[in-house]
Amino acid sequence: MTTQNTQSLALPAPVSFWQAFAFWLKLGFISFGGPAGQIAIMHAELVERRHWISEKRFLHALNYCMLLPGPEAQQLATYIGWLMHRTRGGIVAGALFVLPSLFILIALSWIYMRFGELPVVAGIFYGLKPAVTALVLHAAHRIGGRALKNRWMWGIAALAFVAVFAFDAPFPVIVLVAALIGGAGARWAPQVFALGGGHAAAKTGYGPALIDDDTPTPVHAQFTGSRLIRVLAIGASLWLTGMGWLLLTQGLDGLLTQMGWFFTKAALLTFGGAYAVLPYVYQGAVEQFQWLSATQMIDGLALGETTPGPLIMVLAFVGFVGAWLQPVFGADSLFLSGAVAATVVTYFTFLPSFVFILAGGPLVEATHGKLGFTAPLSAITAAVVGVIVNLALFFAYHVLWPKGFSGPFDAMSALIALAAMLALFRFKLGVLPLLGACAALGLAATALT
C-alpha cells in the first residue's frame, strides 16, 4: 500500500468547535448557486475534502431536509453542525449560513431604494427582470422533473395551476388539499405517491470519515421524549418572546407584528424551496398588505439570486422595502426601519427551520422512507409546480407588458427573456453568469434608447 493510500484510509483528526465555526463562517460567504450549488459545495468540502461525514450519512441527512418546509441547504448545514457539536454546533452552522447574506442584502436593498431611479441602476434591473422570469420557469421545470413522475402527479399540478390562475385560491388551501390527496393516495394508490429515486446511491472512495457509515449515533442525537418536549418548548418560547416584543412595542396592527406573523406562516409552507413560497408571499405582501409592488418583488428576487445564502432571503428584501415605504421609526429613519424589518423577517422565517432540525433530527430514522409520511409531501411538491408556473406567467406579464395589456409590448425584454431561457435550458449556464450577462444587456438596451 502506498503512502498516499495509507493517508486516504487514515481517520481524520477530530474537529474542534472553533475549527467548525471557521468553516461555517466561510461557507456563509461562498454559498452561491441556490440549493443545488450550496449542497454541492458542502458535499465537496465535508465529504470529499475534509472527511467530516460519510456520503451515506450526508445523503441520509439531506433526504430528511428535503422533506421539510424551509431551505434544505441551510437545514443540512444545521443538521451536520448539530451532529458534530451538539445544539450550539447546529445553531452556529445554521446562523452563519444566513447572516452574511442578511447583511449583504440589507446593503443592496438600501442601494436599491436610495439609488434605484438612477439610469445605471435602472438599466441593470431592466435586464435582470426578464432573467428572473426565465429562472422561475426553469425552477418549475427542475422541480417538475423530480415531482411529476406519472399522470396523476401531472393532474395535481394542473389542478393547482387552475386553482390559483382562474380562482385565485390561497396558497395554504392548495397545500392543504394536496396534502389530503397525498394522504389518501398513500392508502389507496401507494405506487402513485411513492417518492422518486431522489439522490443517487452513496459512492465510495473518499476514505474514512469522522461521522462514518457505521459510527454510532452520538448520545446527544439519540431520541428521548423529554428532549423533544424541551426543544419544542424552547422554540415556542423564542417565537412567543419575539412576537410578544412586537406586540408590546408595535401593537397588534403594527407593521413589524404583521410581518412577524405572516412570515411565520410562510416558513411553514415552503415545501419545494424558495420559489414555492413566492406565490404565497406575493398574495400577502403585494396584494393583501401592499408592502411593495409587483415590480419591486421581481427586483428583490433578482437581488436574492446575486447574494450568497438561501434564496428565501429575498423575504428580507420584502421586509426592508415594506418598512422603508411605511417607516416604522419615522421618515428620518428609513434605513433603520428597513434594517429592523429585514431582521425581524429573517428571525421568524428561519426559527422554524432550527426547531425542525434540533427537534426532529433524532426521529430521522423512524420517519424517513415511510410512505404515510412522504406521500403528502409528494403531492404538495406536485401542486407547487403548478403554482410556480402561474408565478412565472405573472412575472412575464409584468415584464413584457409593464403598463398592462393596453400598453405597448416590450420586445427587448422578450428577447432578453428568450436568451436567458436558452442559456438555462440548452447551455446549463449558471445563475450568476446569467444575471451578469442580462444586466449588461439591460444596460446596453437602456443606453441606446
DSSP string across 209-257: -SB-TTPPPPGGGS--HHHHHHHHHHHHHHHHHHHHHHHHHH-TT-HHH
Angle at 339 between CA 335 and CA 342, to 5 degrees: 140
Band the pLDDT of 223: cuts 50, 70, 90: confident
Using the predicted structure, report yes or no on whether residue 204 has a pLDDT greater than 70: no
Task: Say if residues 215 and 208 touch (Cβ distance below 8 Å).
Answer: no
Using the predicted structure, report yes or no on whether residue 106 has a pLDDT greater than 50: yes
Give me the percent of the chain exceeding a pLDDT of 90.
44
Give the least confident one: 204-213, 231-240, 396-405, 429-438. 204-213
Instruction: Round to whole Å and give the CA distance between 189 and 258.
Output: 41
pLDDT score recorded for residue 202: 43
Instruction: Round to whole Å and give the CA distance between 160 and 138.
Output: 18
Q: The C-alpha cell of 7 is what?
A: 493517508
Give the least confident one: 1-15, 230-244, 298-312, 420-434. 1-15
Bridge partners, 53 (sequence order): 211
Using the predicted structure, report yes or no on whether residue 365 has a pLDDT greater than 60: no
Instruction: Round to whole Å and give the CA distance between 168 and 282.
Output: 12
- Mean pLDDT over 278-289 rounds to 87
Using the predicted structure, report yes or no on whether residue 369 has a pLDDT greater than 60: no
Q: The C-alpha cell of 64 is what?
A: 430528511
DSSP-derived secondary structure letter, 53: B
pLDDT score recorded for residue 199: 42
Q: Which of 53, 383, 355, 46 is nearest to 185 (CA)?
A: 383
DSSP-derived secondary structure letter, 282: I
Mean pLDDT (the chain, rounded):
85
Q: The C-alpha cell of 285 is what?
A: 405582501
User: When comparing pLDDT for 275 and 108, which is higher?
Assistant: 108
Q: The C-alpha cell of 124 is what?
A: 441593470
Instruction: Round to whole Å and give the CA distance between 444 and 245.
Output: 48
Instruction: Round to whole Å and give the CA distance between 403 and 280.
Output: 24
Task: Say if residues 390 and 134 touch (Cβ distance below 8 Å).
Answer: no
Angle at 98 between CA 101 and CA 33, to 5 degrees: 65
Give the least confident one: 143-152, 177-186, 225-234. 143-152
Task: Say if residues 363 and 223 touch (Cβ distance below 8 Å).
Answer: yes
pLDDT score recorded for residue 372: 67
Q: Which of 274, 321, 269, 416 is nearest to 106 (CA)?
A: 321
- Mean pLDDT over 99-127 rounds to 89
Q: Which of 90, 104, 100, 80 is nearest to 29 (CA)?
A: 100
Cβ atoms < 10 Å from Cβ of 86: 16
Q: Which of 232, 235, 225, 221 is nearest to 84 (CA)?
A: 221
Band the pLDDT of 420: cuts 50, 70, 90: very high
Bridge partners, 211 (sequence order): 53
The DSSP secondary structure of 126-150, one letter per residue, reads HHHHHHHHHHHHHHHHHHHHHH--S
Instruction: Round to whole Å and give the CA distance between 331 and 215.
Output: 57
Using the predicted structure, report yes or no on whether residue 155 has a pLDDT greater than 90: yes
Band the pLDDT of 275: cuts 50, 70, 90: low
To the nearest 10 degrees (0 to 180), the angle between helices 314-325 and 334-360 is 150
CB under 8 Å to 433, separation ≥6 — which residues?
none
Residue 210: CA count within 13 A, CB half-sphere: 19
Using the predicted structure, report yes or no on whether residue 156 has a pLDDT greater than 70: yes
